[in-house]
Structure 1
């Protein structure tokens, strides 16, 4: 008996609340927002999650921190390459040091003496060969040594002239190119390293977080999803018999019946819905066989829509 009595009291209370509800007149629609997905550009393992489902975040707020050891290793390699390329470029600009110049001069003196001695020996053997005092074999051996000494002398002398004049401009440009390329690789590694912080792309609500701390994130994988806060639009389903009342560009008044707030919006699009998409309510207000249209309206500029809940019902006044 007590259970039956409690059930009757609950039914009476529900009937009383239902009687107090006002009838909502006008086409009904929903508040919609653009969905956002937060992804990672590089693979990594989640170290810390700072956001929670249902939380509102601002653009640029840190949502997660990833561990990227491979990216850190590439950054260290890039730093080393920049240091080496910079040293090569600076050496090319300054040219040879005094010690290098002295080494080349000493080598030039040595090969000069060898060349002069080989030249004297060749002149003597040449005169003796003309008088048939030496064999052809002896003459060829001395001549070969003379040519070798001459070639060595010319090579060291050319090296000396190059060192004395400084590094050629082409080599300086090559060193500069290597330096710039190394700096570009370092910048690329720095950009990748900064991506270990996963930030909110827009002011948004966090609806779902797909991964947990310690799990691996792959490039392009959706880590979290949500809705954009600072932009919203209204979507209405209008039957064929009523669509003639609405035109693109027309301004309409929209009421949020649950908080009593009014909004002015402009119709920006009207399109026919396909059959599989035209049932948007449990109580459709149209006849079977009627074509159904989707009406999209955007709030006027400056309207505060951040407090409107996504998918909440609204009506056209």
Structure 2
């Protein structure tokens, strides 16, 4: 009976000692470290490279868009006028190039030939006149001055004939190779100007370059859109990651390629696997933290990016991510 009393007294005492020991052990264990980050995702701004007035915005916040979907359209009468000017310049340059390629018209060639024949006939007449005057001079009837005048007129008529023939030959031959090539290059330059304006005109129909969800519509119908100003913002949740700020004494657990589990409270208590993709020191000096004087240095904070190893359904930008 005495043994039972002794055992009954020892057991509670042992339990009390064990509980106290466990409590002291728990008190001296390091407290668990909790890191909180948030979800970020790739965001794209859809804008136009030409200014204009918004004609139609075809999406709203929350809409899902795919690459190639029409997002908004611009109204730009000035661009339409420039396109008409460029096309008119192209037509004019093309006509000049065609003219240089075809050469002179048949009527112009015939007129040049007639001028040559006329000069040739005049030269023949002046030659006969000179011969007659020369014979009269030899017979002593005509003065030497008259013979010299007739000879000069004959030579001048010969030069006129040669000039007329060269004009006829030039009309027959057409434009020089250099002239034709210059006209062709001017036509190409005008075509390039048309293509440039057409490219700007095509950019009044703005399509999405990305798959994603519309998060912002910054301008609406009737408002002026400056060049390059974002009109619609799209976020791609298939390209999402979590961002944490980690002190360097914990950084050895987040080396590039390291894997860990984290909880997203907005999606429940299920743990999701993440993989570290990028580590970089934060630039702000305020991220430094003073350590125990015995350690002798200040710790810096690093930015860690980690991507989910599997797609996470219903993930949204700004959701908290907790690591224990």
Q: Same fold (TM over 0.5)?
A: yes
Structure 2 stretches of 5 or more lacking a match?
Answer: 1-31, 293-297
Q: Deviations over 1:28-48 (max 9, x none)?
A: 211112332222211211111
Moved more, 112-121 or 178-187: 112-121
Moved more, 91-100 or 157-166: 91-100
Q: Deviations over 1:96-128 (max 9, x none)?
A: 444443233223222322333344445556777
- TM-score of the pair, normalised by structure 2: 0.72
Does the C-alpha gap of structure 1 residues 58 and 147 become closer, same or farther in structure 2, counting only changes over 3 Å?
farther
Q: Deviations over 1:57-107 (max 9, x none)?
A: 222322211111121112112222222333333343344444443233223
**What is the rounded CA distance, in whole Å, between the counterparts of 1:141 and 1:253 in structure 2?**
117
Q: Secondary structure at the match of 2:318?
A: coil
Q: Deviations over 1:6-39 (max 9, x none)?
A: xxxxxxxxxxxxxxxxxx9853211112332222
Give the aligned partner of residue 273 of structure 1. Answer: 282
Does the C-alpha gap of structure 1 residues 27 and 125 become closer, same or farther in structure 2, counting only changes over 3 Å?
farther
Q: Deviations over 1:233-255 (max 9, x none)?
A: 11112234422222122233344
CA contact (8 A) 1:233 1:297 kept: yes
Q: Deviations over 1:209-242 (max 9, x none)?
A: 3323222222222323343343111111223442
Give the aligned partner of residue 133 of structure 1. Answer: 143
CA contact (8 A) 2:272 2:308 kept: yes
Shift of 1:290: 5.2
Does the C-alpha gap of structure 1 residues 189 and 124 become closer, same or farther in structure 2, counting only changes over 3 Å?
farther
Give the aligned partner of residue 189 of structure 1. Answer: 197
Give the aligned partner of residue 252 of structure 1. Answer: 260
- TM-score of the pair, normalised by structure 1: 0.74
Q: 1:315 aligns with which of 304, 317, 322?
A: 322
Q: 2:307 aligns with which of 268, 273, 298?
A: 298
Q: Secondary structure at the match of 1:234?
A: strand
**What is the rounded CA distance, in whole Å, between the counterparts of 1:262 and 1:243 in structure 2?**
21
Q: Secondary structure at the match of 1:92?
A: helix
Give the aligned partner of residue 69 of structure 1. Answer: 77
Give the aligned partner of residue 171 of structure 1. Answer: 179
**What is the rounded CA distance, in whole Å, between the counterparts of 1:203 and 1:297 in structure 2?**
22
Q: Deviations over 1:144-179 (max 9, x none)?
A: x55654444323312322333344322221222112
Structure 1 stretches of 5 or more lacking a match?
Answer: 1-23, 280-285
Give the aligned partner of residue 51 of structure 1. Answer: 59
**What is the rounded CA distance, in whole Å, between the counterparts of 1:122 and 1:298 in structure 2?**
107
**What is the rounded CA distance, in whole Å, between the counterparts of 2:156 and 2:165 in structure 1?**
14
**What is the rounded CA distance, in whole Å, between the counterparts of 2:121 and 2:98 in structure 1?**
35
Runs of 4+ that moved beyond 6 A: 126-132
**What is the rounded CA distance, in whole Å, between the counterparts of 1:294 and 1:128 in structure 2?**
117
Structure with bigger gyration radius? 2
Does the C-alpha gap of structure 1 residues 272 and 142 become closer, same or farther in structure 2, counting only changes over 3 Å?
same
**What is the rounded CA distance, in whole Å, between the counterparts of 1:230 and 1:115 in structure 2?**
92
CA contact (8 A) 1:128 1:134 kept: no
CA contact (8 A) 2:133 2:150 kept: no
Does the C-alpha gap of structure 1 residues 313 and 129 become closer, same or farther in structure 2, counting only changes over 3 Å?
farther
Does the C-alpha gap of structure 1 residues 262 and 160 become closer, same or farther in structure 2, counting only changes over 3 Å?
farther
Give the aligned partner of residue 31 of structure 1. Answer: 39
